[in-house]
């Protein structure tokens, strides 16, 4: 059993008892953290493990939310309505991802990021213009429907379903990172020219990574639409796209659990500091400045770095000798 799997088990175990202690922590708050946490994990798959900065992730979150929401409003009563609408939302996000990623991947670095930004603004514009998205009003009162006969209108049932969906999504992202495909993604991130010279079509890898990331962001968006029974323009806005950058950097880019922790912190601050109104943005902004100035690896990243350095200090001497010795095997050859 991998360490990741153990930690997920512990987290799920803790999350299981949340509905029994509503005085301590609201289940709705935990569901929100799970939605944004998975969203940040999807984003991190690109930024942390492929080396691509996208400002389009709200477009994926939102388009899945709109599709799932609109379908639920029409077919929510059907016994298979919820899984079908959910799957359609994920598929829609993947398609939007294919369109945006396919175009943006022709350019690199800041140009790549700007193309994703421009195209996601088109998605925002469409969300305002279309009638089925509800324009300025968004989609409200989305029915949750039922899953395998379980009525999801109860918050407790929805909570456990969300938890299961979240765990599955999270483990999926972990699998993608730790897969043969994930290895090539890391190679592309580390040194794209070298990956090409080894015979890998790096654009194809980046495009697939982009689509997977968009699909997972959509998965989080579909979850969110059902949990809050609401999809609004905020979900496709640039603000949401930048918030996910903040969550990922704060928690630790390129780590498995960092984005989840970052999402928890940002959502927590927004929730528990809601009384100070707009000042929340100032607080979060200050935290962000501290983060990028003093612990650029993010919270989980710094923790892992410290642990690695401590482990290295234990075996420093033999390692150093090994690097100094001219390689004996090559000498003999």
Partner 1 sequence: MAEHALVTEGLTKAFGGFTAVRGVDFAVRRHAIHALIGPNGAGKTTFFNLLTKVHTPTGGRILYEGTDITHESAAAIARRGIVRSFQISATFPHMSVRDNVRVALQRRLGTQYAFWRSIRSLSVLDDEAMALLSDVGLADSAEANAADLSYGRKRTLEIATTLALDPPLLLLDEPTQGMAIDDVDRIKRLIRRIAVGRTILMVEHNMSVVADLCDTITVLQRGEILAQGSYDAVSADPGVKAAYLGGGHA
Binding-site ranges for partner 1 (CB under 8 A): 175-176, 178-184, 186-187, 189-191, 193-202, 204-205, 208, 212, 319, 322-323, 326-331, 333
DSSP letter at 146? E
Give the residue with the Cβ less far from partner 1, 57 or 189: 189
Q: Cβ closer to partner 1: 202 or 241? A: 202
Q: Are 93 and 217 in contact (CB under 8 A)?
A: yes
H helix count then E strand count, the chain: 15, 4
Listed in order, strand segments (DSSP E) in the chain are: 139-140, 146-147, 150-151, 230-231
Q: How far is the CB of 205 from partner 1 (least distance, A)?
A: 8
Q: How far is the CB of 317 from partner 1 (least distance, A)?
A: 14
Instruction: Let me know: does 235 contact 145? Beta carbons within 8 Å.
Output: no
In angstroms, give the least distance from the CB of 256 to partner 1.
Answer: 13
Specify the 3-state DSSP secondary structure of 82: helix
Nearer to partner 1, 197 or 275 (CB): 197
Measured on CA atoms in the order 22, 225, 255, 266, is the torsion positive or negative?
negative
Question: What is the rounded distance in angstroms from the CA atom of residue 269 to the CA atom of residue 278?
Answer: 12
CB of 235 to partner 1, least distance (A): 26
Shortest gap between Cβ of 308 and partner 1 (angstroms)? 10
Token digits of residue 246: 């903040």
Least CB distance from residue 74 to partner 1, whole Å? 32
Q: Are 48 and 254 in contact (CB under 8 A)?
A: yes
Residue 324 C-beta: closest distance to partner 1, Å? 8
Residue placing its CB nearer to partner 1 in the complex, 141 or 318: 318
Q: Which is nearer to partner 1, 24 or 322 (CB)?
A: 322
User: What 3-state DSSP class applies to 108?
Assistant: coil
Q: Which is nearer to partner 1, 23 or 318 (CB)?
A: 318
Closer CB to partner 1, 156 or 179, in the complex: 179
Question: Rounded to whole angstroms, how far apart are CA atoms 197 and 73?
Answer: 51
Taking the complex as a whole, the smallest distance from the CB of residue 41 to partner 1 amounts, in Å, to: 14
Q: Which string of DSSP letters, residue by residue, matches 298-315?
A: HHHHHHHHHHHHHHHHHT
CA 201 to CA 204: how far, in whole Å? 6
Q: Which is nearer to partner 1, 131 or 324 (by Cβ)?
A: 324
3-state secondary structure string, 209-225? HHHHHHHHHHHHHHHHH
């Amino acid at each position: 059993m991998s360490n990741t799997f153990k930690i997920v088990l512990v987290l799920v175990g803790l999350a299981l008892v949340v509905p029994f202690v509503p005085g301590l922590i609201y289940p709705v708050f935990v569901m929100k953290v799970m939605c944004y946490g998975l969203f940040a994990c999807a984003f991190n798959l690109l930024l942390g493990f492929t080396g691509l900065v996208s400002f389009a992730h709200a477009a994926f979150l939102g388009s899945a939310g709109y599709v799932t929401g609109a379908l639920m409003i029409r077919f929510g009563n059907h016994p298979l309505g919820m899984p079908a609408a959910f799957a359609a939302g994920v598929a829609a996000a993947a398609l939007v991802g294919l369109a945006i990623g396919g175009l943006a991947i022709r350019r690199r670095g800041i140009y790549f990021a700007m193309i994703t930004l421009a195209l996601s603004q088109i998605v925002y514009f469409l969300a305002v213009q279309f009638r089925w998205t509800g324009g300025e009003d968004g989609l409200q009162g989305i029915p949750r429907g039922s899953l395998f006969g379980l009525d999801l209108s109860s918050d407790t049932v929805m909570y456990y379903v969300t938890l299961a969906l979240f765990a599955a999504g999270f483990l999926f992202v972990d699998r993608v990172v730790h897969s043969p495909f994930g290895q090539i993604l890391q190679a592309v991130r580390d040194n794209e020219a070298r990956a090409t010279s080894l015979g890998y079509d790096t654009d194809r890898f980046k495009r697939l990574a982009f689509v997977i990331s968009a699909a997972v962001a959509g998965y989080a968006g579909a979850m969110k639409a059902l949990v809050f029974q609401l999809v609004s323009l905020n979900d496709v806005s640039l603000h949401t796209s930048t918030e996910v950058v903040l969550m990922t950097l704060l928690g630790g880019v390129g780590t498995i659990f960092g984005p989840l922790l970052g999402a928890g912190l940002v959502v927590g601050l927004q929730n528990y500091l809601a009384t100070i109104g707009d000042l929340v943005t100032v607080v979060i902004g200050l935290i962000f400045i501290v983060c990028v100035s003093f612990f650029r690896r993010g919270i989980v990243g710094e923790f892992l770095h410290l642990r690695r350095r401590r482990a290295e200090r234990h075996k420093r001497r033999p390692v150093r000798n090994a690097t100094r010795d001219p390689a004996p095997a090559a000498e003999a050859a």
